[in-house]
């Protein structure tokens, strides 16, 4: 199967006073038509920077310094302004963690949708209005015709995120990147929003890239999963394999720190240690200092040479302890 969106060896760096932050340092990802790809990893692992890079939305002092991004076979890194506008509107869209920040406070929500539609489609104002109302309906905004004229501050957090979803899907993109779309919301609303995203993407055949901390959501929704650690993908595979047979010691650690229904919080095992600071990266394998497998097998190579991403039967993994890696 040819991938719709294919990222290879992506490097996105930030030039800061303290030196170069290698936020994304050799990321490989593939998104196939219509599938749900989950991206998981601890805070600071480079999930958001990867997502922004895919749309070339990384701002100064950040810069994509290496690798390739292809959408439908076309080179995103060499696209001009016009091609990029088309890519971001029609082909790939993105929703963020903080819906209200992304909504324009002085334009009604309905007009934000109609303007987008008119910018990209040759339609009349009336058609645009009808489409916007039906979109607001489909994302579960009650009384959509009346709410058309509402402003962002008049919406609850959950409603604002629903409107963001309506905007993101207005042009029927082939890929929707949702970066922690529910973390700012109440737990009860989170499940509804995730369910809504899944339903709408399925109906439209839109591939969904879901960036999340929540392995429960991944288990329920994703077809494939990429696990990120310190700016790299350390394991990528289908969701069944990830949960039944995780290969990378980091993935194993994440899974064992997952809350089990009915288990008391004190008994959960989190991975000891913290994600390395970009200014203080381990020289070889970035997970080596926290890796139980390295310690129990007494492996020196993990501190000497960076492991490459190795293809496995069901995906890929970056670890010296995997057979065939050395």
User: How far apart are CB 165 and Mg ion at their closest, in Å?
Assistant: 18
Residue 50 near Mg ion by CB under 5 A: no
- With CB atoms as reference, the residue minimizing the distance to ligand ATP is 23
Chosen residue from 16, 156, 308, 326 binding ligand ATP by CB under 6 A? 16
Chosen residue from 26, 38, 46, 306 binding ligand ATP by CB under 6 A? 46
Residue 307 near ligand ATP by CB under 6 A: no
Q: Pick from Mg ion, ligand ATP, none: which does 41 bind, CB < 5 to 8 A by kind?
A: ligand ATP
Q: Pick from ligand ATP, Mg ion, none: which does 23 bind, CB < 5 to 8 A by kind?
A: ligand ATP
| Cα dist from 307 to 67, 242, 248, 295, 311, whole Å | 18, 20, 12, 16, 12
Residue 38 near ligand ATP by CB under 6 A: no
Q: Going residue by residue from 271 to 290, which x/- string records binding to ligand ATP, judged by CB under 6 A?
A: -------x------------
Of 48 and 112, CB closest to Mg ion: 48
Cα dihedral across residues 37, 42, 43, 46: positive or negative: negative
Residue 45 near ligand ATP by CB under 6 A: yes
Helix (H) or strand (E) holding 64: strand 62-71
Total chain residues near ligand ATP (CB under 6 A): 15
Cβ(232)–Cβ(10) under 8 Å?
no
Of 129 and 290, CB closest to ligand ATP: 290
Per DSSP, the residues of 255-274 read HHTSPPTT--GGG--PPSS-
User: How far apart are CB 304 and ligand ATP at their closest, in Å?
Assistant: 24
Q: Which residues lie across from 310 on neighbouring strands?
A: 317
Residue 250 near ligand ATP by CB under 6 A: no
Q: Pick from ligand ATP, Mg ion, none: which does 247 bind, CB < 5 to 8 A by kind?
A: none
* Closest-CA residue to 163 (of 187, 181, 188, 186): 181
Chosen residue from 45, 48, 206, 212 binding Mg ion by CB under 5 A? 48
Cβ(253)–Cβ(235) under 8 Å?
no
Q: Which tokens in the block code for residue 138?
A: 């489909």
| Cα dist from 114 to 117, 128, 140, 262, whole Å | 5, 5, 18, 47
Residue 43 near ligand ATP by CB under 6 A: yes
Binding to ligand ATP (CB under 6 A) within 50-79 occurs at 61-62
Residue 49 near ligand ATP by CB under 6 A: yes
User: How far apart are CB 215 and ligand ATP at their closest, in Å?
Assistant: 13
Query: Footprint of ligand ATP on this chain (CB under 6 A)?
Result: 14, 16, 21, 23, 41, 43-49, 61-62, 278
């Amino acid at each position: 199967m040819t991938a719709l969106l294919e990222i290879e060896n992506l490097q996105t760096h930030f030039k800061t006073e303290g030196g170069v932050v290698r936020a994304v340092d050799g990321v490989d990802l593939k998104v196939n038509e219509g599938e749900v790809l989950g991206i998981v990893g601890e805070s600071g692992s480079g999930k958001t920077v990867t997502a922004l890079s895919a749309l070339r939305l990384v701002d100064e002092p950040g810069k994509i310094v290496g690798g390739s991004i292809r959408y439908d076979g076309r080179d995103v890194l060499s696209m001009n302004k016009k091609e990029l506008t088309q890519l971001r509107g029609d082909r790939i869209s993105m929703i963020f963690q903080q819906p209200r920040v992304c909504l324009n406070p002085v334009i009604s929500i309905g007009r934000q949708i109609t303007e987008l539609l008119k910018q990209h489609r040759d339609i009349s104002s009336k058609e645009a209005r009808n489409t916007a109302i039906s979109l607001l309906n489909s994302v579960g905004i009650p009384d959509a015709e009346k709410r058309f004229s509402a402003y962002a501050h008049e919406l609850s957090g959950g409603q604002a995120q629903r409107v963001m979803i309506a905007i993101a899907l207005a042009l029927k993109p082939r890929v929707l990147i949702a970066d922690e779309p529910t973390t700012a919301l109440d737990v009860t609303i989170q499940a509804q929003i995730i369910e809504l995203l899944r339903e709408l993407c399925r109906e439209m055949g839109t591939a969904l890239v879901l960036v999340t901390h929540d392995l429960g959501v991944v288990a329920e929704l994703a077809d494939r999963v990429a696990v990120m650690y310190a700016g790299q993908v350390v394991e990528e595979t289908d969701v069944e394999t990830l949960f039944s047979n995780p290969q990378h010691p980091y993935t194993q650690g994440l899974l064992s720190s997952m809350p089990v229904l009915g288990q008391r919080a004190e008994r959960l095992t989190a991975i000891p240690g913290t994600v390395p600071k970009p200014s203080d990266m381990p020289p070889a394998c970035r997970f080596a200092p926290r890796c139980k497998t390295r310690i129990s097998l007494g492996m020196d190579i993990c501190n000497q040479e960076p492991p490459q991403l190795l293809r496995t039967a069901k995906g890929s993994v970056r670890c010296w302890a995997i057979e065939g890696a050395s």
